[in-house]
């Protein structure tokens, strides 16, 4: 919502109370009659009676008024009905649309285009008063003339065409010419508009309704109203029916029309304009009813004599703390399916930011599931392989025992045959038996060597052949191919576990729930998440979104930037001549004024002071830290003023800084004397962010107005009733 500068920056309730009180007191000027419900053109032909440069008889002179908007300037012109061959003063008010201020210097040229010949040009070299030129125009012939105003500026000359001007041939024609009544509404002079931040804008249509800024809406007696400019200094009140409000915008169903120009800044001042009628007594004093005082929130504080902290006021800019700026990158390639948050939105930790289709996201989950299935496979394999291995070991040991028994038997038989001698058995029989013994021993040796290669010891084999029980280690022996198979499966499982740990870490890092991960570890396939939802790692404001929906992203591509503004830094520029004062400061707490937050003073904390000078600006940086009100009011790049605490002065008379106003070349305050408020000129000295030293004009204990004083200044300085030209001092 657009805000108003003091005195018209009260909150919505205060404004409502003000308008209700003024309406009840009859202080809002009534219109001059006529219907204000329909649209009214900004240009108006003729209206108020006005002093005239030539005599039209006994009647007061008829006056024309023109309001016209250009690109850079807008004009309000007052002139008498024009008589050919007689000079007519065209009082021309020129306002800069960029600054809403009067044109203070430079010429303007009025070009007069008749039916034939070259246009006539009249040069007004400079304004007679800020914003007001009064050239005399001499039209040589009666008829319809086209007039334009040429206004040079630094952006180039702008030519603003006026509505056609009727030039009469005689006073009798002027007397017979119809006179259009004044547009109804509240009068608010340009001299008043120029004193305050004041702006009008054309309404526009959107979604079937008129769209205006929130600042254009003024509450009154429970209703919402807006002020429409019906001429340069007249504003009609329109009652609005509002469809909706959103982000500082208001959609209006009825009460406004395309082509209307509404007051978007300074609408409260139009309500306060009637206060000039209630400035009584001395020229520099205002008498105000207590109800009005309460309605506009007028408050006072005492002028105090005491100690005042001397400060070195330096300019700086708000910056996010480096540790609070987070860039979120893509973990792996994929495609953006949905963008949940956009730049400027505040997010909390855990809020979804992006939904991604990422093949590797599924692969990480498959890796976790694979460990579960691999562990089951290895368990089954070991059970089966160990069983097969035990059977092979038992078979080998059995064969060894059989071979050993066979060899012993053949050895005894051979020995018996040898003892019997050649006479008892044939030599051939003995040799045959010896051959059988050799084969049996060779078979036994082969089995023994095989058992030794499997891991049995000689002692284990001897004990087994002797019929003794195997040792503990011998009972664990398996065939090499079985052991190798088991070791390979265990290695595969270990590799899968390590791979899964890496995948689990990635899953957890990108927001996969621990509960879902535990379910995956147990083989629960329903825990699989098909898309990756990137969630905010912390609270903050989303600054950048670098991707759009359906966009393919690459590995390590930056997707978003998040900044936590709960605490911010202020970078203060310190010139070389100011370094000593900053180094010798009296404290590490710094009052900070942020113009965007009004009169609020924040307290900053010292972080560090540069030890080097930045060569491009020849300044060092002092960095302080601030708590951000509401976590969002301070924004990157906002300008601030930082008060570096130096000495303390005692015996200083001082008042709140906002009590002192500039009125032309004078500094003034309003002294509160109950029902009267006196404009008092003061001479000021030392200024801090919140207080101003008063050297003369006040005494300790004087009550000065700190809120509502601009309304008093407007009331005191407004043109008084009876001034020429309806309040203008041309």
Q: Average pLDDT in the 181-200 region?
A: 85
pLDDT reported for residue 283? 59
CB half-sphere exposure, 702, CA atoms < 13 A: 23
> 81 and 177 in contact (C-beta within 8 Å)?
yes
Give the tokens for residue 554. Answer: 């690459």
The residues facing 102 across adjacent strands are 95
Assign domain 326-358+531-562 to a CATH class: mainly beta
Return the top range by mean pLDDT from 363-372, 619-628, 712-721: 619-628
The residues facing 668 across adjacent strands are 661, 681
Percent of the chain with pLDDT over 90: 39
In angstroms, how far is the first alpha carbon of the chain from the final one? 37
Pick the CATH number of 299-321+565-707 from 3.30.1360.10, 3.40.50.300, 3.90.1150.10, 2.40.30.170: 2.40.30.170
pLDDT reported for residue 606? 96
Percent of the chain with pLDDT over 70: 88
Using DSSP bridges, classify how beta strands 82-83 and 165-168 pair: parallel, antiparallel or unpaired.
parallel
pLDDT reported for residue 422? 65
Among candidates 464, 441, 436, 440, which has minimal Cα distance to 452? 464
pLDDT reported for residue 272? 65
Question: Residue 499 and residue 370: Cα distance in Å, rounded?
Answer: 10
Helix residue spans in 455-551 (DSSP H): 458-465, 480-509, 514-521
pLDDT reported for residue 42? 36
Strands across the sheet with 325-329, in order? 325-329, 558-563, 540-545, 346-347
Mean predicted lDDT score pLDDT of the chain: 83
> What size, in residues, is the chain?
730
* Confidence band, pLDDT 50/70/90 cuts, at residue 605: very high
**Of the ranges 48-52, 148-152, 268-272, which one carries the lowest mean pLDDT score?**
48-52
Assign domain 46-182 to a CATH class: mainly beta
pLDDT score of 296 more than 80: no
Q: Average pLDDT in the 558-587 region?
A: 92
Question: Residue 414 and residue 432: Cα distance in Å, rounded?
Answer: 9
* Confidence band, pLDDT 50/70/90 cuts, at residue 22: very low
Helix, strand, coil distribution of the chain in percent, nearest 5: 30, 35, 35
Q: Average pLDDT in the 330-347 region?
A: 89
pLDDT reported for residue 567? 93
Please give the distance of CA 502 from its chain centroid, rounded to a whole number.
38
Q: What does the pLDDT look like over 481-540, one tens digit per residue?
A: 888 888 888 888 888 898 889 888 988 887 888 999 999 988 898 989 888 888 898 888
Q: Average pLDDT in the 161-165 region?
A: 94
Query: Between residues 55 and 662, which one has the greater pLDDT?
Result: 662
Question: Residue 227 and residue 193: Cα distance in Å, rounded?
Answer: 14
* Confidence band, pLDDT 50/70/90 cuts, at residue 671: very high
pTM above 0.85, yes or no: no
Among candidates 313, 307, 312, 311, which has minimal Cα distance to 654? 307
């Amino acid at each position: 919502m657009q805000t108003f500068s003091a005195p018209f920056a009260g909150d919505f309730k205060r404004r409502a109370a003000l308008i209700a009180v003024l309406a009840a007191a009859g202080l809002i000027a009534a219109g001059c009659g006529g219907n204000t419900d329909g649209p009214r053109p900004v240009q108006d032909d003729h209206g108020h009676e006005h002093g005239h440069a030539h005599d039209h008889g006994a009647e007061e002179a008829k006056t024309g008024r023109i309001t016209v908007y250009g690109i850079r300037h807008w004009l309000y012109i007052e002139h008498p009905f024009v008589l050919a061959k007689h000079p007519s003063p065209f009082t021309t008010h020129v306002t800069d649309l960029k600054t809403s201020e009067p044109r203070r210097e430079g010429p303007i040229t009025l070009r007069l285009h008749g039916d034939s010949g070259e246009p006539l040009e009249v040069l007004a070299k400079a304004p007679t008063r800020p914003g007001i030129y009064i050239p005399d125009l001499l039209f040589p012939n009666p008829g319809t003339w086209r007039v334009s105003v040429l206004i040079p500026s630094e952006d180039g000359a702008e030519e603003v065409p006026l509505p056609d001007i009727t030039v009469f041939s005689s006073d009798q024609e002027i007397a017979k010419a119809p006179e259009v009544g004044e547009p109804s509404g509240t009068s608010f002079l340009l001299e008043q508009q120029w004193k305050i931040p004041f702006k009008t804008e054309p309404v526009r249509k959107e979604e079937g309704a008129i769209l205006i800024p929130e600042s254009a809406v003024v509450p009154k007696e429970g209703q919402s109203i807006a002020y429409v400019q019906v001429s340069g200094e007249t504003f009609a009140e329109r009652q609005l029916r509002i469809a909706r409000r959103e982000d500082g915008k208001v959609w209006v169903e009825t009460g406004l029309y395309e082509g209307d120009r509404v007051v978007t800044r300074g609408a409260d001042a139009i309500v306060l304009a009637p206060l000039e009628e209630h400035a009584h007594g001395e020229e520099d004093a205002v008498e105000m009813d207590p109800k009005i005082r309460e309605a506009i929130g007028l408050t006072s504080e005492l002028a105090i004599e005491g100690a005042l902290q001397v400060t070195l006021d330096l300019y700086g800019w708000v910056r996010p703390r480096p540790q609070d700026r987070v860039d979120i990158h893509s973990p792996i390639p994929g495609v953006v399916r949905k963008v949940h948050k956009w730049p400027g939105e505040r997010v909390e930790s855990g809020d979804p930011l992006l939904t991604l289709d990422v093949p590797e996201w599924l692969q990480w989950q498959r890796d976790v599931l694979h460990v579960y299935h691999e562990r089951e496979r290895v368990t089954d394999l070991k059970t089966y392989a160990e069983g097969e291995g035990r059977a092979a070991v038992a078979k080998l040991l059995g064969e060894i025992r059989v071979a050993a028994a066979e060899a012993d038997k053949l050895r005894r038989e051979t020995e018996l045959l040898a003892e019997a001698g050649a006479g008892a058995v044939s030599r051939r029989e003995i040799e045959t038996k010896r051959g059988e013994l050799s084969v049996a021993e060779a078979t036994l040796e082969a089995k023994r060597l095989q058992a030794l290669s499997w891991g049995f010891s000689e002692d284990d084999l001897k004990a087994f052949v002797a019929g003794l029980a195997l040792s503990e280690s011998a009972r664990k022996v398996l065939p090499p191919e079985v052991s190798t198979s088991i070791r390979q499966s265990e290695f595969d499982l270990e590799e899968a576990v390590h791979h899964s740990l890496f995948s689990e870490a990635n899953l957890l890092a990108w927001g996969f729930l621990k509960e879902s991960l535990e379910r995956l570890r147990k083989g629960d396939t329903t825990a699989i998440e098909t898309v990756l939802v990137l969630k905010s790692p912390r609270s903050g404001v989303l600054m950048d979104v670098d991707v759009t929906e359906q966009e393919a992203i690459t590995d390590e591509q930056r997707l978003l930037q998040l900044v936590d503004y709960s605490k911010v830094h202020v970078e203060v520029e310190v010139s070389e001549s100011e370094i000593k004062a900053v180094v010798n400061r009296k404290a590490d707490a710094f009052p900070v004024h942020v113009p965007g937050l009004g009169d609020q003073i924040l307290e900053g904390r010292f972080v560090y002071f540069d030890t080097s000078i930045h060569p491009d600006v020849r300044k060092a940086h002092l960095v302080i830290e601030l708590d951000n009100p509401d976590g969002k009011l301070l924004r990157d790049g906002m300008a601030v003023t930082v008060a570096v605490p130096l000495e303390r002065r005692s015996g200083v008379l001082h008042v709140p800084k906002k009590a002192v106003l500039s009125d032309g070349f004078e500094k003034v305050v309003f002294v509160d004397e109950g029902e009267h408020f006196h404009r008092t000129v003061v001479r000021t000295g030392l200024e801090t962010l919140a207080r101003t030293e008063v050297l003369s004009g006040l005494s300790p204990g004087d009550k000065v107005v700190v809120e509502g004083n601009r309304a008093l200044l407007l009331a005191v300085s407004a043109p008084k009733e009876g001034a020429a030209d309806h309040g203008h001092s041309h």
